[in-house]
């Protein structure tokens, strides 16, 4: 694992690593995220191994703006309303993925849905923007462990593991916030799959 202090971060180098299929730990507006290029199947598979996550539990992705989301999911009026009110920010929207977008298995669920968030953190946003693709953003912890807000906990958690992230971005202690709210949009209706910091009201 390579550790990079936030103040020494070279975004272009990290984006190049993502393009090469590497995995990273990075800060978000909620907790530390574990991610990779969401269109790189081998990188996504590595994220699952690092996290020791069940293959049937898909991972969400973050993007820098709404326009990138439109490229990958079937947009509708309900998603538009949610986006205008809550993005950028900790609301994850689950909707049907468009066909042939290149998103990896594990990002797209067996039922054809994918989970997107317009991220409200400058580093996470810049990484996805530089990559020009969605960035996987599952919490940077081994499954069944708590979501990490401390860089030291992240480093300790993965330090003794066989499968480790390639790059860790050290942003110190993050402000402890709840996880993102996850809302599924289907035929205009909204179902809350996970209640987080955002309380959805339309």
Domain locations in the chain as residue ranges: 2-194
> In the predicted model, what is the mean pLDDT of the chain?
95
177 versus 6: the higher-pLDDT residue is: 6
Contact 147, 31 (CB under 8 A): yes
Of 113, 82, 83, which is closest to residue 97 (Cα–Cα)? 113
Mind listing the pLDDT tens digit for each residue in 17-56? Answer: 999 999 999 999 989 999 999 999 999 999 999 999 998 8
| Cα 126 to Cα 105: distance, rounded to the nearest angstrom | 24
| The pLDDT value given to residue 84 | 96
Superfamily designation of domain 2-194: DHBP synthase (3.90.870.10)
Of 45, 49, 23, which is closest to residue 36 (Cα–Cα)? 23
String of DSSP letters for 152-197: HHHHHHHHT-SS--SEEEE--BPPP-PPPEEEEEETTEEEEEE--S
Q: Taking 80 as the threshold, does the pLDDT of residue 176 lie above it?
A: no
> Any idea which of 18-27, 108-117, 179-188 has the lowest mean pLDDT?
179-188
Contact 106, 137 (CB under 8 A): no
Where does the pLDDT of residue 126 fall: very low under 50, low under 70, confident under 90, or very high at 90 and above?
Answer: very high
pTM for the structure as a whole: 0.95
| The pLDDT value given to residue 175 | 86
């Amino acid at each position: 694992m390579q550790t990079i202090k936030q103040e020494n971060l070279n975004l272009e180098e990290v984006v190049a690593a993502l393009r090469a299929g590497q995995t990273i730990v990075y800060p978000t507006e909620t907790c530390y995220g574990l991610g990779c290029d969401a269109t790189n199947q081998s990188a996504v598979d590595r994220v699952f191994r690092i996290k020791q996550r069940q293959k049937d539990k898909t991972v969400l992705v973050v993007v820098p703006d709404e326009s990138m989301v439109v490229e990958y999911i079937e947009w509708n009026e309900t998603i538009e309303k949610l986006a205008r009110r809550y993005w950028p920010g900790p609301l994850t929207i689950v909707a049907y993925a468009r066909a042939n977008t290149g998103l990896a298995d594990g990002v797209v669920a067996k039922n054809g849905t994918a989970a997107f968030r317009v991220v409200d953190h400058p580093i996470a946003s810049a990484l996805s923007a530089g990559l020009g693709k969605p960035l996987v953003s599952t919490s940077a912890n081994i499954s069944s462990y708590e979501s990490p807000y401390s860089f030291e906990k992240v480093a300790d958690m993965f330090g003794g593991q066989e499968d480790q992230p390639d790059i860790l971005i050290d942003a110190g202690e993050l402000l402890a916030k709840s996880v993102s709210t996850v809302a599924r949009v289907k035929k205009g209706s909204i179902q809350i799959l996970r209640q987080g910091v955002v309380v959805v009201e339309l």
